[in-house]
């Protein structure tokens, strides 16, 4: 369930990892495993300067890679950035160490509303600290959607893409959705008034019927192509991640191509996801690992990361330090009323995952 920037300078990343590994001989180390391109440009160097601990830093590009690494062998890592969706699997497998609150003075600054939502995947908030988070919603071309549906287009509602009369017209200018049954099917279920994490096969038949009815009007399912297509005007609507839509908006503005993009968090509610900091049970350097987690919990450290990546963080005290344009953007920091409607996604039993896979295959193929 990768929601992160879908570009990465591999040369620069490899050089950074290599340079930090070389520096590991200089003193104590902490081994960190994170999503690619998912940290501030100077965060690692600042951590070494401020603590004397050298971060040995590696990256991955999917939750499956992360889980495979942690569940099949001793990884050698201390701290990992894991999605909330992966937490139940990692906790059940005994891969994570409970976080010692007495070593976490910054925990008091964590947003209690976010912690309550995260507790759906980490009961009691025992194992994970929020790092960055975001939502799934609708990105759209303001002018093209207005031209097709008029000034009263329901851009604040899932009706925009799940009502056939709307989607049939928007299909003329191009609609894309994530190629992710674990993210799209819960949204369809939620729209139908059903539990987004349902395990009832009958519920999935209803979601399948809805999506098959809409399928002729959807240009494609893809989890990366929509960003560039939205920014250059090749499509007019996409269902995807908040940060990806902001990336499309920024790209269009920088290109000066006249494409105006907006992101909507539907009023009916939408998925919220978290990327979290966790300490591995077999961490070779647990104290250094806790030092790294504590460092990223500092408001003055995490605020620039939010500015750089256009994702909110879980630290209430950091909000005032985030750039005004970022913290006042409801697409990045949703207002309280919108936050109350958000729901988390959960791993489902293998039997239900098989049902979702079959349904998604039918939907993508249109039959």
Known binding-site positions for spermidine? 85
Please tell me whether residue 222 adopts helix, strand or coil conformation: coil
Closest-CA residue to 82 (of 34, 119, 125, 48):
34
Here the tokens at position 60 are 């991955």
- Can you say which residues are annotated as belonging to the binding site? 85
Closest-CA residue to 133 (of 293, 340, 342, 276):
276
Here the tokens at position 127 are 């194992």
SS (H, E, C) 115-154: HHHHCCCCHHHCCEEEEEEEEEEEEEEHHHHHHHHCCCCC
- Indicate if the alpha-carbon torsion angle 343, 344, 350, 353 is positive or negative: positive
Quick one: angle between helices 43-51 and 286-296, nearest 10? 120
Alpha-carbon distance of 326 to 307, in angstroms, equals 7
């Amino acid at each position: 369930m990768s929601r992160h920037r879908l570009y990465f300078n591999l040369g620069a990343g490899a050089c950074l990892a290599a340079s930090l590994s070389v520096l590991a001989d200089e003193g104590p180390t902490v081994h960190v495993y994170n999503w690619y391109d998912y940290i501030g440009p100077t965060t690692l160097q600042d951590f070494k300067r401020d603590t004397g601990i050298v971060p040995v830093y590696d990256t991955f590009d999917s939750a499956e890679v992360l889980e495979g690494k942690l569940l099949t062998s001793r990884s050698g890592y201390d701290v990992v950035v894991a999605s909330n969706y992966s937490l139940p699997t990692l906790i059940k497998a005994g891969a994570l160490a409970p976080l010692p609150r007495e070593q976490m003075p910054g925990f008091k600054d964590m947003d209690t509303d976010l912690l309550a939502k995260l507790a759906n995947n980490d009961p009691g908030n025992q194992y994970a600290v929020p790092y960055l988070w975001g939502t799934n919603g609708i990105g759209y071309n303001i002018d093209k959607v207005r031209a097709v549906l008029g000034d009263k287009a329901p851009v604040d509602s899932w009706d925009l893409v799940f009502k056939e009369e709307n989607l049939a017209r928007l299909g003329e200018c191009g609609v894309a959705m994530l190629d992710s049954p674990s993210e799209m099917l819960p949204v369809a279920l939620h729209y139908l008034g059903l539990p987004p994490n349902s395990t009832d096969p009958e519920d999935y038949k209803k979601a399948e019927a809805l999506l098959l009815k809409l399928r002729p009007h959807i240009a494609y399912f893809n989890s990366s192509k929509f960003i560039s297509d939205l920014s250059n005007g090749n499509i007019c609507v996409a269902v995807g991640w908040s940060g990806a839509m902001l990336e499309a908006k920024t790209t269009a503005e920088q290109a000066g191509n006249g494409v105006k993009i907006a992101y909507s968090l539907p009023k009916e509610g939408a998925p919220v996801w978290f990327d979290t900091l966790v300490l591995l049970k077999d961490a070779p350097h647990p104290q250094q690992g806790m030092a790294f987690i504590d460092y990223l919990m500092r408001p003055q450290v995490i605020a620039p990361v939010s500015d750089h990546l256009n994702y909110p963080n879980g630290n209430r005290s950091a909000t005032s330090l985030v750039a005004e344009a970022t913290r006042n953007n409801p697409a990045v920091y949703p207002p309280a009323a919108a936050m109350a409607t958000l729901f988390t996604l959960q791993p489902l039993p293998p039997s239900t995952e098989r049902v979702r896979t079959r349904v998604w295959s039918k939907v993508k193929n249109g039959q």
